[in-house]
Amino acid sequence: MKRIRIVVRNDKPQADEIARDLIAMLTERSVEAAYDLADPEAIVAIGGDGTVLAAASAALDLDIPLCGVNVGRVGYLAEYEASEIGDLANAIAHDSYTVRRHSTVSVRSGDVYALAINDIVVEKVVSQRIIEVAVQVNGSDLASYRTDGIIVASSLGSTAYSLSAGGPVVDPSLDALILTPIAPHSLLTRPIVLAPDAVVTLRVLVDRPARINVDGRELCVLPSGQDITIERGPSMVGFLSLGRHPFPEAVRDQFGLGDAG
């Protein structure tokens, strides 16, 4: 690769410093690297998961891979630490990496459509009032939840909002959809792992305001009774990997589990 766009979290001085160092390392290796570079071959996002998600949206539009360098707190989408940017620069310059591809999640409701890397959330708008959501999978009724909301996550997004709502940690190499209710008033409180080709249809039954969030950003407020269709997206997002952090190690480090044995 010879053209790399750098995306930085602006409110982190350390991120700017890492970006400058990485640009210098890539330049020394005859790789053009800059902010807002036109027609890049890959994107490097320096910051936290929010920065990586923003970069991933651009990478999807350009049909190119990306990678994340973690700054500060634990990042689940950023594979590299600041101490590894020299190795990352070498890998980019010599094409000595692999590209891990992960499914996205799409949502459609009326005329609204969007793709998510992590998750689609249908949730209440008024904090004091729960909503009732009917769930179908592949056209068959599953359950109706009286709940704060429903999360449908990719395996890559299983460690994001879904995890905090009680969802499972899923190996990102496993292609699946994870359906997790948020604080449900229901006998069926457990998350459900669905096949990757499952089609999930949600409908808010009670005439109370609800909205769709895509990767933590509000997409729209829903009209009453309108179906929401969620399924695997048509595009995949690719991450540059050096293969240094296998799934068990990543889980151990991210959750502070200590050494096994």
CATH number (3.30.365.10, 3.30.465.10, 2.60.200.30, 3.40.630.30) of 104-235 reads 2.60.200.30
Q: How confident is the model at residue 260 (pLDDT cuts 50, 70, 90)?
A: low
The pTM is what?
0.90
pLDDT digits (tens, 9 = 90+) for 80-133: 889 999 999 999 999 999 999 999 999 999 999 999 999 999 999 988 889 999
For residues 215 and 118, is the Cβ–Cβ distance under 8 A?
yes
- The residue annotated as part of the active site, out of 16, 36, 39, 49, is 49
Catalytic residue check, 49:
yes
Q: How many residues does the chain have?
A: 261
Secondary structure of the chain: what % helix, strand, coil (to 5)? Answer: 25, 40, 35
Q: Which of 161, 148, 157 is nearest to 177 (CA)?
A: 157
- The boundaries of every CATH 3.40.50.10330 domain in the chain are 3-97+242-254
Position 87 scores a pLDDT of 95
For residues 200 and 152, is the Cβ–Cβ distance under 8 A?
yes
Identify the three-state secondary structure at position 161: helix
Q: How far is CA 71 from the centre of its chain?
A: 17
- The boundaries of every CATH 2.60.200.30 domain in the chain are 104-235
> CATH homologous superfamily of domain 3-97+242-254?
Probable inorganic polyphosphate/atp-NAD kinase; domain 1 (3.40.50.10330)
Percent of the chain with pLDDT over 70: 93
Going by their DSSP bridges, the two strands 177-182 and 149-154 should be labelled as antiparallel
Highest mean pLDDT among 85-89, 156-160, 168-172, 248-252: 85-89
Q: Which of 194, 212, 7 is nearest to 103 (CA)?
A: 194
pLDDT digits (tens, 9 = 90+) for 225-244: 899 999 999 999 999 988 76
Average pLDDT over residues 39-60: 92
Q: CA geometry: angle at 152 spanning 123 and 173, to 5°?
A: 155
CA–CA distance, 3 with 117 (Å, rounded to integer): 24
Q: What is the phi/psi pair of residue 165, to 5°?
A: -95, 5
